[in-house]
């Protein structure tokens, strides 16, 4: 399958209700915040993790769709698979001396691991498999308005040890946001896709992953997270026909008429507007 021929940018909107979209381990797992604006943040790494998880579910055991960065995986063992495939013995921290073999090694990683050919990877570990710059890049997601984290006390009716049967039940804490609508920007480079082999099939899989991202990710902390909008800008020229920021400015998210007083509590409290007066050579599609 040949690489994609067009450049893309996209705006992705998702929301959370009474949940924690991305806890900060440096702050007791509180929802991430911009301290200057009190707007919520979700890291690119968190969204990439969910994309990887979706692909692993949809493409389970399908050739070419293995996931490189998965839970409890040993990355050096992933690299060894490539060395075994091209029949070369690894040398500590070094790529094969023969340049063609080094390229073949990295190409094997791209061909077999979806997330390597999509997001790229730095594989220069003890078993060196090279470095790949991925065609798909994501920015941090930021909430449209400031959010208010809440700490909720919880209890349990059971105890761990028999000696504690008569004691007061264990107390715990959960951190939630009553509601937050987040906006994320993404970029897909056709020229970098040529280097990794990121194909049209891969692109459609990426769109499906973003569409269904939270449907298989529900948990006690993220019970109600939903993908709300995916707005895709497509360039005729693989190098692009307009700067990304010009296109992102075409998408406005604001409060719906008459709903600008008090905190937002649902997606319908907002309105999304797209300015269709686009630069020449650029088209826009709402995938949902």
DSSP of 194-241, one letter per residue? HHHT-BHHHHHHHHHHHHTTTTT---SSSSEEEEEEEEEEEESSTT-S
Over the stretch 22-80, which tens digit does the pLDDT of each residue have? 999 988 889 999 999 999 999 999 999 999 999 999 999 899 999 999 888 899 999 99
The distance of Cα 59 from the centroid of its chain, to the nearest Å, equals 17
Q: Apex CA 78: angle with CA 75 and CA 79, to 5°?
A: 95
- E strand or H helix at 270, and its extent? strand 270-274
List, as one string, the DSSP characters of 105-138: HHHHHHHHBHHHHHHEEEEESSSEEEEEE-SEEE
| Torsion-angle region of 281 (φ positive above 0: left; ψ -120 to 50: alpha; else: beta) | left
Q: What is the DSSP code (8-state) at residue 169?
A: P
Enter the pTM of the model: 0.93
Residues of the chain with pLDDT under 70: 1, 165-170
């Amino acid at each position: 399958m040949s690489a994609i021929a067009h450049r893309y940018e996209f705006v992705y909107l998702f929301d959370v209700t009474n949940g924690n979209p991305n806890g900060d381990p440096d702050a007791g797992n509180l929802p991430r915040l911009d301290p200057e604006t009190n707007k919520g943040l979700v890291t690119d790494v968190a969204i990439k993790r969910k994309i990887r998880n979706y692909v692993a579910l949809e493409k389970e055991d399908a050739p070419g769709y293995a996931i490189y960065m998965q839970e409890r995986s040993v990355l050096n063992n992933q690299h060894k698979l490539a060395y075994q495939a091209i029949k070369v013995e690894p040398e500590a921290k070094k790529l094969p001396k023969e340049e063609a073999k080094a390229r073949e090694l990295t190409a094997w990683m791209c061909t077999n691991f979806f997330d390597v050919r999509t997001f790229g990877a730095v594989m220069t570990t003890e078993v060196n498999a090279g470095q790949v710059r991925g065609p798909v890049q994501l920015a941090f997601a930021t909430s449209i308005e400031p959010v208010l984290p809440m700490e909720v006390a919880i209890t349990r009716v059971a105890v761990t040890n028999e000696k504690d049967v008569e004691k007061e039940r264990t107390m715990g804490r959960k951190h939630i946001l009553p509601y937050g609508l987040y906006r994320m920007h993404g970029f897909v480079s056709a020229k970098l896709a040529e280097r990794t082999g990121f194909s049209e099939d891969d692109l459609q899989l990426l769109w499906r992953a973003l569409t269904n991202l939270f449907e298989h990710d529900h948990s006690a902390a993220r019970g109600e997270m939903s993908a709300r909008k995916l707005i895709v800008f497509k360039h005729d020229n693989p190098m692009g026909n307009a700067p990304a920021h010009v296109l992102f400015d075409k998408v406005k998210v604001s409060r719906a008429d008459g709903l600008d007083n008090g905190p937002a509590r649902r997606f319908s409290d907002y309105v999304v507007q797209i300015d269709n007066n686009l630069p020449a050579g650029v088209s826009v599609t709402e995938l949902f």
